[in-house]
Amino acid sequence: MEKIKIGIVGLGNIAQTAHLPILARMPEVEIVALCDSDRAKAQYLAEKYAVRRYYNNYEKMLTVEQEMQGVDICTPTVLHKEMALAAIEARRHVLVEKPLARTQKEAEEIVNAAKKNHVKLMVGMNNRFRPDAMILKSFIEDRALGKIYYTKAGWFKRLDEHSHWFTRKTESGGGVVLDLGIVMFDLALWMMGYPEVKQVMATHYAHWTKGVEDTALIYLKMKNDATLTIEASWAFESTSDFFYCDCFGTEGSGSLNPFRIVKRMHGSLVNVAPATVESPQVLYRKSYENELKHWIGALRGLHPVISTGEEAVHRMKIVDLIYKSAKHGKAFIVKD
């Protein structure tokens, strides 16, 4: 089997803990180049993973590595647009870590370029690829829980002290909404089958940050009368990080973390979720393994891309309204 040749740009935490080690173990993948602004880091990781070449200039990498078929972008959000556009113009397929861009306008530019150049574009939303999430999604798609009318999701996580760029709006595009909130928003909308959003209401707080929000409370009303609430915070006082996604249907409900699928059967509530003893750490690792396997499979032509650029544009349209609602203190109707 001919290997898919990949380059990775941005060698920070998520690249080192997930993308690089997982891709390096995949027999159908050859990592041909690494790139980071820190040349010493790129050299060290290239030697560690036996990657032939390393760069501190992504444009040079795109020019030199003519056999490279895909580019995995793991840089801060401020660099996503320019790097994705450069890779797309060079006719390389692209995986971009979440979020695709800082605004809807930036996301649209990337998506339009990908369409024009017939390039496959995927956005990293690894929580869709958690084994428990995929099981719950299958129950919902089979209508085993009836019509989903309410979903609530949230993520509380201490801000990584090494990721200062998350709190700089010019680099990240926003605060906790674009770090944690967008992940839960994507997961919840995906679970619900992407109903059209009718109304957006949000409240933001900035207790420990300047210029961006450290806590967000979001209320979304759908055109099909379903409701979605999201809460995300770097500042909630908690002894540990925690995330959840709960879906409520007319015939049952499902939850992630802890994993539970409850259905009314013969007058009683029964937990019909498959038994699992996998730890949060294992589920986290498997989510990235499944995501990256999917991306490589899409590059090999085995299936279409999941978590597309078009979906990212839709998400960013709502995210822009979330910030607008929080700024003005009122709800906004989503225009077609």
What distance, in Å, lies between the first and last C-alpha atoms of the chain?
46
Report residue 316 CA to chain centroid gap: 12
Class of CATH domain 128-289+314-333: alpha beta
Q: Where in the chain is the domain with CATH 3.30.360.10?
A: 128-289+314-333
Q: Judging by beta carbons within 10 Å of its beta carbon (0-12, 13-18, 19+), is residue 47 exposed, middle or buried?
A: exposed
Which parts of the chain sit beneath pLDDT 70?
A: 161-162, 277
pLDDT value of position 313: 97
**Quick one: pLDDT at residue 162?**
64
pLDDT of res. 236:
85
Q: Which residue matches tokens 């309204």? A: 321
**pLDDT at position 240:** 81
Cα–Cα distance measured from residue 109 to residue 74, given in angstroms and rounded to the nearest whole number? 19
Angstrom distance (rounded) from CA 144 to CA 130: 20
User: How far is 62 from 33, CA to CA, in rounded Å?
Assistant: 10
Q: Which helix (H) or strand (E) holds 104?
A: helix 104-116
* Token code pair at residue 113: 């370029």
Give the per-residue pLDDT at 223. Answer: 97
What fold characterizes domain 4-127+292-307?
A: Rossmann fold (3.40.50)
**DSSP string of 242-259?**
EEEEEEEESSEEEEETTT
